[in-house]
Structure 1
């Protein structure tokens, strides 16, 4: 948890007070008090149970990066060697020295849509996440008392009417009189933990330079570090996974096997499938790319598409990804559980403790790690 206060997801669209992002810049690894909840070096092989509470840790509030760095590629990168059990402090610009010509980076080319709509001077809020038909969307909404079935209001240059409410998760089915102009009137759905409203900078920086297929309500953040020049110099291919609203939602079940992920749409092209099959090592750039890869059947990969609700947790047998590049994730989140499954719970706890001691920048606009 953040000291004194839990970082929450979209629940209630809550936001923390604004914090300034820390400047990048490293120093040699040093000792120090172990951050609470992350154990000690001697616990490296400790296996966590199937309880979400075992994936909690405290994070100083000032380590949450509320703004991107001036340069995309200026982020720090913590390299985690699973075989040697070692950590190395690098910069993202060092990535090419870890990539062999026969390797393949797999990136998610989904584009974030400005799907957050504000009505009645911000007192009503919609987050559109699934288009059901002409001018008809599935959405999260607040407040509940203003967005009941039959309620209507003006938003984004048109009239929205709430058709129904899903009992299972509270999502709304919204019918608009005309298709809302999201690009002109929508807001970027930046994460609530940034503690601020979106602005013009987020239009470009909360978007990868290679985004090309509309559909996400959150950025595949590991890809935010890449410039066109760095990407062009590395072997790479694209998959598509449209990030859904589940990425914002907290895990409410204590037992991991009781948690259900929201389904998300994905696609793998013929060209990408062929390049995956030819690669010596596949490096997933981001947890979304990893979930696409591991949703595929074992063996040779073929072009395909569909929907996945894959929840990767310790004990999962990885079939396709040999390495993972990812940002630093929230405590008690499915993404922190995922990286613990990929790297080993003990080693990942050690890596996060080191990142906190060395004041890495956390979450969407923060630094990254490369797990090899």
Structure 2
């Protein structure tokens, strides 16, 4: 399939620049794959739309303050995004940067802090990668100390299409975010409120949690015209024994596994295998990497239903939902979403695909 097959036109005014308030007042499109039906609701209706024999799986990763500002020799301003720790012992990181052309091997970046603390933070550029990223090393500071300093030096890395957002950074975190490590929010979870969790519990629907730290694999653009030539960046995920046991029992009891977001889905599908004709979700005994790329033609092994936002044109996320629901039905749903002025992308509205 070609990259152009996943393009569509979106009016700029439909790109959400702030979240709905309250969170569960966002709109919710209901998509029935078997019947080809598309209906319109609000997100707080989700518990009523799900079968009571459902189990919801969430990604509880928390976004870190991975966007830092600094200067290099000559007082040139630079902005970096920490994308992956390559070596904890040596505190070496892969980064993306604005002003990257000025970041040569040996350049020293002095970072700005926005609180009156004494610790100085700087890093040396070690390498320039062919894809435009850089490798840097934070010197005279341990990995654990860097994590303590990030709230003082960094800010949450909001997507570039969110302009002039002045709200609380908490609005770009799910209310159940726990394990730090993501550089973008698992946005399907942003719609959930305490009210929704209470209504889910009242209906007897259980909830389980895993962790995938959102990185470049989720949002890096596809640059190959043949989508099969695209290589996903690796992301780290973890599924503990309790979660795996609960979801395996739900699956064996013929309950519906509802994935809250594409990152949760990719984690579950990455850790599922077939044993003696039975679908089994394997726990990760330690953090595990995945670069699974799901596009039309993929056979889903574990996930039955999906809650997700409306995604960017030509993105791997749009390809994933097209694989899950069928490309024609998804593009029909997106067309209706535009016609009905749904809000798109990270702070936008959602759909549930059954």
Smaller-chain TM-score bracket: 0.7 to 0.9
CA deviations on 1:208-235 (whole Å, 9 max, x unpaired) are 0001001100000000000123124422
- Equivalent position SS for 2:17: coil
1:158 to 2:113 alignment? no
Corresponding residue for residue 315 of structure 2: 333
Residues 287-366 of structure 1 correspond to what in structure 2 (within 5 A)?
287-296=262-271, 297-298=273-274, 299-304=279-284, 305-366=287-348
Cα pair distance change 1:122/1:61, threshold 3 Å: farther
Query: Considering only aligned residues, what root-mean-square deviation do their CA atoms show, in Å?
Result: 1.6
CA drift at 1:254: 0.4
8 Å contact from structure 2 (residues 123, 136) kept in 1: no
1:103 to 2:51 alignment? no
Residues 1-372 of structure 1 correspond to what in structure 2 (within 5 A)?
50-120=1-71, 123-131=77-85, 132-134=87-89, 135-155=91-111, 156=113, 157-178=120-141, 179-180=145-146, 181-196=149-164, 199=166, 201=168, 203-234=169-200, 235-279=206-250, 280-296=255-271, 297-298=273-274, 299-304=279-284, 305-372=287-354
CA deviations on 1:191-248 (whole Å, 9 max, x unpaired) are 011133x6451x2010000010011000000000001231244221011100012333
8 Å contact from structure 1 (residues 151, 162) kept in 2: yes
Corresponding residue for residue 38 of structure 1: none
| Normalised TM-score (structure 2) | 0.87
| Normalised TM-score (structure 1) | 0.83
CA drift at 1:356: 0.2
- Equivalent position SS for 1:123: strand
In 1, Cα distance between the equivalents of 2:133 and 2:83? Answer: 13
The answer for unaligned runs of 5 or more in structure 2 is 114-119, 201-205
CA drift at 1:359: 0.1
Of Structure 1 and Structure 2, the greater strand share is in 2
CA drift at 1:173: 2.8
Which stretch shifts more, 118-127 or 72-81?
118-127
CA drift at 1:335: 0.5
8 Å contact from structure 1 (residues 191, 248) kept in 2: no
CA deviations on 1:139-176 (whole Å, 9 max, x unpaired) are 11231232111000210441221111223453323333
Name the count of aligned residue pairs.
321
Cα pair distance change 1:119/1:99, threshold 3 Å: same
- Equivalent position SS for 1:370: strand
8 Å contact from structure 1 (residues 136, 176) kept in 2: no
In 2, Cα distance between the equivalents of 1:236 and 1:122? Answer: 48
The answer for unaligned runs of 5 or more in structure 1 is 1-49
In 2, Cα distance between the equivalents of 1:177 and 1:164? Answer: 19
In 2, Cα distance between the equivalents of 1:246 and 1:144? Answer: 21
